[in-house]
Amino acid sequence: MLPTIELQDDVIVMIDQRKLPAQELYVRCRNAQEVAKAIRTMVIRGAPAIGVAAAMGIALGMKKSSARGTRQYAVEFQKTCDLMAATRPTAVNLFWAIDRMKRAFAEGAQAGESPEELSVRLEREARRIHDEDVANCRAMGAYGAEMVPDRARVLTHCNAGALATAGYGSALGVIRAAVEQGKTIAVFADETRPFLQGARLTAWELVRDGINTTVITESMAGPLMRAGEIDLVVVGADRIAANGDTANKIGTYTVAVLAHEHGLPFYVAAPLSTIDLSTPDGDRIPIEERDQREVSHLGSSRLTPEGAKIRNPAFDVTPHRYIAGIITEKGIFRPPYIETLGAAFESALA
Ligand code: MRU
């Protein structure tokens, strides 16, 4: 399986997703600041992977802390959590992972642990978050694969694969599991402007796994659906509101509307850590606006004329009415999401 991110003794190693597929380079982060920068600059990206990176970054930062005494250590812990929380606003897995680290810290502090003991506890929690994410992807894959018929032609948007998680992937986990069941699957990977997660990362992962992959630009999805060349859509998510409205990479909404128009099922695959019941609907999901340069340039080459204004919202919201099912590690949830997602959490906590 792909090594998306690894917490070693005193360093976090992550594959540099900005460089793929041309170069397979690894970035070594030696402190929390370097991890925060890696998340911001998208060395590592994808909602679950960002959460894992933040948890590991907090664990590493606190392991290397020079704080004297528990009080100073607690102040530094809070600052490190704030640093991670300021990296990217949309993927709720980031805040979910930080909250898990805060709860672990609070339990240790309550038990009167020393900074050294707290640091061991934080590292254990970060590793747990990582391992749980891989297990969740496998479980999502098993549930989701049932929705994918043999010989299906599946469209996916962005990269919701091993690179976007701790391993195996959410949307790509569903595809992988279907292939592991012996089904013949053909994948259409939307290019995903402007960062090209589909063309660069999804295609790279799937080709490495020997899965039949065709890269298309976003604008090709509609005509291919109309021509009967696509059977279903499966995407990942950055945040799912209580009513099922789903924020995912910009362009997902367009794909969902197109799927609806052509009568094709549109599935979202995401762990429960992506569901945010405290956000009632998609209008309340914060949408990250990224650097204009991602749109105006390709590498160092300028694509747009000086003086042209640029917009670069990194995510959009797909209204719940377009979503046929939300595939999670606890099963597939169907509309009305306002009821089924709430119930999912109640039974997960029971
Ligand atoms: O900006 P990115 O690359 O972090 O956006 C990633 C996505 O939108 C993914 O589809 C989403 O995080 C799900 S990853 C399993």
- What are the backbone dihedrals phi and psi of residue 26, each rounded to the nearest 5 degrees, phi first? -120, 135
| Cβ-Cβ contacts under 8 Å for 133 (sequence gap 6 or more) | 48, 51, 52, 165, 166, 167, 271, 273
| Cβ-Cβ contacts under 8 Å for 7 (sequence gap 6 or more) | 56, 59, 60, 123, 126, 127, 130
Q: What pLDDT was estimated at residue 2?
A: 58
CA–CA gap between residue 314 and residue 294 (Å, rounded): 10
Q: What pLDDT was estimated at residue 346?
A: 86
Determine the distance separating the centroid of ligand 1 and the alpha carbon of 263, expressed in angstroms.
Answer: 25
From 191, 197, 312, the mutation candidate for ligand 1 (largest count of ligand atoms within 8 A of CB) is 197
> Which residue bears the tokens 């038990």?
111
Residue 9 burial (CB < 10 Å; 0-12/13-18/19+)? Answer: exposed
Determine the distance separating the centroid of ligand 1 and the alpha carbon of 22, expressed in angstroms.
Answer: 20
CA–CA gap between residue 165 and residue 130 (Å, rounded): 9
* This prediction's pTM: 0.97
- Of 72, 86, 83, 96, the closest CA to residue 32 belongs to 83
- Of 323, 320, 276, the closest CA to residue 91 belongs to 276
Residue 154 burial (CB < 10 Å; 0-12/13-18/19+)? Answer: buried
- Of 93, 286, 299, the closest CA to residue 194 belongs to 299
Tens digits of pLDDT across the chain (350 residues) = 557 999 999 999 999 999 999 999 999 999 999 999 999 999 999 999 999 999 999 999 999 999 989 999 999 999 999 999 999 999 999 999 999 999 999 999 999 999 999 999 999 999 999 999 999 999 999 999 999 999 999 999 999 999 999 999 999 999 999 999 999 999 999 999 999 999 999 999 999 999 999 999 999 999 999 999 999 999 999 999 999 999 999 999 999 999 999 999 999 999 999 999 999 999 999 999 999 999 999 989 999 999 999 999 999 999 999 999 999 999 999 999 999 999 988 887 77
Q: What pLDDT was estimated at residue 348?
A: 75
CA distances from 263 to 232, 244, 253 (A): 9, 19, 15
Which residue lies with its CA nearest to atom 10 of ligand 1? 236
Which residue lies with its CA nearest to atom 8 of ligand 1? 249
**Side-chain-side CA neighbours of residue 235 (13 Å):** 33
User: Which three-class secondary structure state does DSSP give residue 184?
Assistant: coil
Q: Which residues line ligand 1 (CB under 6 A)?
A: 45-48, 91, 158, 160, 164-165, 170, 197, 236-238, 248-249, 314
From 159, 201, 240, 315, the mutation candidate for ligand 1 (largest count of ligand atoms within 8 A of CB) is 159
Question: How many Cβ atoms are within 10 Å of 26's Cβ, its own excluded?
Answer: 13
